[in-house]
């Protein structure tokens, strides 16, 4: 592999149900990184269930603007924009050279605008933050939960209350606790 070639250029889902799978099973990571030397990357996975009333054109516009803005920043290696399933589920992924570069991009205006609408556009929106680690052969790839500041917490689910209003529930342990209620409901755990 050309050392200047992006190893994630050919990252692809492993099948039609990838959005419900644990992240290492959802994509062809091993194939993409087979010739890479040991190192690590920072991965952010966006799992969501879109609200039935969400405006897809507005979501795409904000997503496009955030993507264009992030591409001007150093360190973004991949943005995989997942396809919406028949159940309105989606799994999208960003791979960064480092967590610091990803965190810098979250402070950009287009990213902030896209983040600000999550409560209105999604029934479920969860961010998973991982360090993807390639060890020397024959060790498999490894995902380790990446620490984040509490202000960055974006694990929310809008749920109906008995009187029909919506509330937001934070999932502090969404990454490290696969028994969290959202993992069971969406059919995946890490």
Q: In this predicted structure, what is the pLDDT of residue 180?
A: 40
Q: How far apart are the first and last CA of the chain?
A: 30
Q: How many CB atoms lie within 10 A of CB 8?
A: 21
What pLDDT, in 10s, does the model give residues 6-44?
Answer: 999 999 999 999 999 999 999 999 999 999 999 999 999
Q: Are 56 and 117 in contact (CB under 8 A)?
A: no
Global pTM reads: 0.77
Q: 10 Å Cβ neighbour count for 139?
A: 10
What dihedral angle (degrees, nearest 10) is formed by the CA atoms of 96, 69, 13, 9? -60
Classify residue 133 as left (phi > 0), alpha (psi -120 to 50) or beta: beta
Residue range 145-175, pLDDT digits in tens: 998 755 444 444 444 333 332 233 333 333 3
**pLDDT over 90 percentage in the chain:** 65
Confidence of residue 57 (pLDDT cuts 50, 70, 90): very high
Residue whose entry in the numeric block shows the structure tokens 């689910």: 157
Beta bridge partners of 93: 45, 80
pLDDT at 179: 38
Confidence of residue 3 (pLDDT cuts 50, 70, 90): low
Question: pLDDT at residue 102 above 60?
Answer: yes
Average pLDDT over residues 70-88: 93
């Amino acid at each position: 592999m050309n050392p200047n070639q992006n190893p994630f250029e050919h990252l692809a889902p492993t099948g039609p149900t990838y959005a419900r799978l644990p992240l290492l099973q959802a994509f062809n990571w091993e194939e993409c990184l087979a010739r890479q030397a040991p190192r690590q990357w920072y991965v952010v996975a966006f799992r969501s269930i879109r609200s039935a009333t969400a405006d897809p054109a507005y979501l795409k516009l904000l997503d496009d603007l955030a993507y264009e803005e992030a591409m001007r920043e150093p360190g973004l290696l991949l943005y995989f924009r997942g396809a919406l399933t028949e159940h309105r589920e989606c799994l999208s992924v960003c791979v960064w050279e480092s967590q610091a570069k990803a965190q810098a991009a979250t402070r950009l205006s287009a990213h902030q605008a896209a983040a600000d609408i999550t409560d209105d556009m999604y029934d479920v929106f969860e961010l998973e933050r991982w360090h993807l680690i390639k060890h020397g052969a024959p060790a498999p790839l490894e995902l380790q939960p990446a620490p984040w500041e509490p202000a960055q917490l974006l694990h929310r689910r809008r749920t109906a209350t008995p009187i029909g209003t919506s509330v937001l529930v934070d999932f502090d342990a969404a990454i490290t606790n696969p028994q969290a209620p959202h993992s069971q409901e969406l059919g995946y755990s890490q």
